[in-house]
Amino acid sequence: MAQRIVVDPITRIEGHLRIDAEVENGAITKAWSSGQMWRGIEVILQGRDPRDAWVFTQRICGVCTTVHALASVRTVENALGMEIPMNAQYVRNLVMSIHALHDHIVHFYVLSALDWVDVVSALKADVKKTVALAETLSNWPNNSYNRFKAVQEKVKAIVDSGQLGPFANGYWGHPAMTLPPEANLMAVSHYLEALDYQRKADKALAIISGKNPHIQNFSVGGVTAAINPDNEATLNMERLYWVKQLVEEVRGFVQQVYLPDVIAIGALYKDWLAYGAGVTNYLAVPDMPLNTKGTAFDLPGGTIVGGDLKTVKPFTSFNDPYFKDNVVESIARSWYKGNWSKHPFEEETVPNYTDFQDDGKYSWIKAPRFQDMPMQVGPLAQVMVGYAQGHVLTKKYVDDALSQVSSLAGAKVGAGVLHSTPGRHLARAIRAAMLADLALEHWAKLVDNIGTGDLEIFNKPAFPKGEQMGFGFHEAPRGALSHWIVIKDGKIKNYQCVVPSTWNAGPRDGKGAPGPYEASLVGNPMENSELPLEVLRTVHSFDPCIACAVHMLDPYGRELTRVKAL
């Protein structure tokens, strides 16, 4: 008989993401993904000045602040039919890519690595063999005997003291943890190092954006980061070179540590390459625009249907009707009144909480659909769409990573293995490697453009009487983010955010088609229902972003996740 398990983080404000799964014969047969709180933050925006929307939207979320700022200014510009100066595009592209680098590093090491890495096992590692293993992966200077030895001693001290700190209550010794001790030691060392590089990315972002978190340098029509090579108070060459140096250091970590680590984990957990594909319709939006209009991009976007790369169809501009006309949100299985699927411009949501109904309504999250299909978004979608279009940088990194996975795993693997739980991590690391290269390229483009004497950063927006509609998208760290606005007489009439995790964590739709989280869990193995490590692996691989950021202190660490095996 099927056993039901529920993974449900308890918090004072209604909980966040709840996953229910049915397990039979050691594998998941059915899953439900449920957002356990309703925010309606968009309501706050109604009646406000559209030029201020980005300041509010970036407070929606504590991890993805800049992404809502970027999507929002693009949305208002789209409604007004505006272009922005070239410098403004490059500055925004730098902000976007550096933020994503930061985000990807943190997601992997702080949130996900411990799903695969057994910290306690690192104590058993032979330090010399760890160095040898690391040398097969990269030339990172910190992969040294002394460093690994010191890390091992630190872990020993922590374990001996019984004060495991952030490692407490991990799934240590779980039968699904199968990395050799040396790989665990190497990964723990990199885990501790990752924070140094997030700090560098953080600093680079603050130099360009004035403040971090919650950047200050955007504006509808451009950016407010004044550029003047002869002025100490503006974005000048000294600051730009400081940014460049920091990004180069971050690139080193991403390309010599993060990507090789994920390649190694993919190869050493090769059984897992068969799990977690789920929905293989992919959607990514193009980003890093190369002109003032947003009709050419350095990061490709488009759609793929049914995992078939030949079906790829690109999005080609910030105004592409192929995107604009095909997005709807379904509330058939969500706690809102009615049973409709509507375009974001037309949505009017009235909450209607029932209870958790397996065959009825069970989530506050809506189910976005593209041409009525569920779509997976995120770095994997972007890498797939780029690979299918022959995007040069994507092809280079994917082919290189797959050949390394093949040689480490001792079996040839193709791009098909990317449709999996480890594949999502690999795609994210590949995207990070690409973004590191592209950040530096766009840095150079910005400097070249300033060198031509162009110091423009802003076109003034003008709001005509009457009604305008617009949409804006951004390929955020968690995937395609879009904002949708209706402006009336210069004020916001309606505002909707269709966020990446809505695409991925959304529930079933009117036709009963499950969302990507739900579909990806089906078929996952489950060793022990009381310790659902396998569920965490697959859900974490999407980089969930549901909570929308609440920060209340709990002095007794009560904000724990409840696992119920029924």
Partner 1 sequence: MKQTEKIGILGVGNLLLGDEGFGVHVILRLQQEYRFPPSVELLDGGTAGIMLAPFMEDKDILFVLDVVNLDAKPGSIHQFSNDDVCSGNIQTRMSPHQVGLLEILDLCRLRGQAPARVEMITVVPEDLSTKIGLSPRLADAVDGVIAVLLGKLEKISVFPEPLAARIE
Residues 429 to 468 in contact with partner 1, rule: CB under 8 A: none
Taking CB under 8 A as the binding criterion, the range among 11-19, 437-445, 449-457, 485-493 that sits at the site for partner 1 is: 11-19
CB atoms within 10 A of CB 44: 16
Touching partner 1, residues 81-140 (CB under 8 A)? 102, 106-107, 110-111, 114-115
Look up residue 431 and give its two tokens: 């995207």
**How far apart are the C-alpha atoms of 171 and 163, rounded to whole Å?**
16
- Cβ closest to partner 1, residue 7 vs residue 309: 7
Beta-strand (E) ranges in 259-352? 282-284, 287-289, 297-299, 302-305, 308-314, 327-330, 341-342
Q: Interface with partner 1 includes 540 (CB under 8 A)?
A: yes
d(CA 411, CA 388): 23
Catalytic annotation present for 497: no
The torsion angle over the Cα atoms of residues 162, 165, 167 and 171, rounded to 10 degrees, is 60
Contact 62, 551 (CB under 8 A): yes
Nearer to partner 1, 44 or 469 (CB): 44
Instruction: Pick the binder of partner 1 from 32, 54, 56, 258 (CB under 8 A).
Output: 56
Q: Is 310 in the site for partner 1 (CB under 8 A)?
A: no
Which residues are 564's β-sheet partners? 6
Minimum distance from residue 177 beta carbon to partner 1 (Å): 12
Site for partner 1 in 160-189 (CB under 8 A): 165-171
Q: How many residues bind partner 1 (CB under 8 A)?
A: 69
Residue 438: which residues within 8 A CB-CB, separation 6 or more? 93, 97, 288, 298, 299, 393
Binding positions for partner 1, 18-47, rule CB under 8 A: 19, 39-41, 43-44
CB atoms under 10 Å from CB of 377, counted, come to: 30
Minimum CB separation from partner 1 for residue 196, in Å?
8
64 is catalytic: yes
Which listed range, 3-11, 299-307, 351-359, 432-440, lies at the site for partner 1 (CB under 8 A)?
A: 3-11
- Beta strands 479-488; 467-476: pairing state: antiparallel
Is there binding between residue 233 and partner 1 (CB under 8 A)? no
Burial state string for 387-422 with b = 16 or more CB within 10 A and e = fewer than 16: bbbebebbbebbeebbebbbebbeeebebebbbbbb
**Single residue of 214, 239, 293, 343 touching partner 1 by CB under 8 A:** 214
**For this structure, is 406 an active site residue?**
no
Active site residue 74: no
Q: What is the DSSP letter of 13?
A: T
Q: Which of these ranges, 244-252, 316-324, 389-397, 536-544, lies near partner 1 under the rule CB under 8 A?
A: 536-544
Q: Does 195 bind partner 1 (CB under 8 A)?
A: yes
Q: Least separation, in Å, of the C-beta of 212 and partner 1?
A: 7
Catalytic residue list contains 545: yes
The gap from C-alpha 490 to its chain's centroid, in whole angstroms, comes to 33
Interaction between residue 414 and partner 1 (CB under 8 A): no
17 makes contact with partner 1 (CB under 8 A): yes
Q: Please identify every residue annotated as catalytic.
A: 14, 61, 64, 68, 478, 501, 545, 548
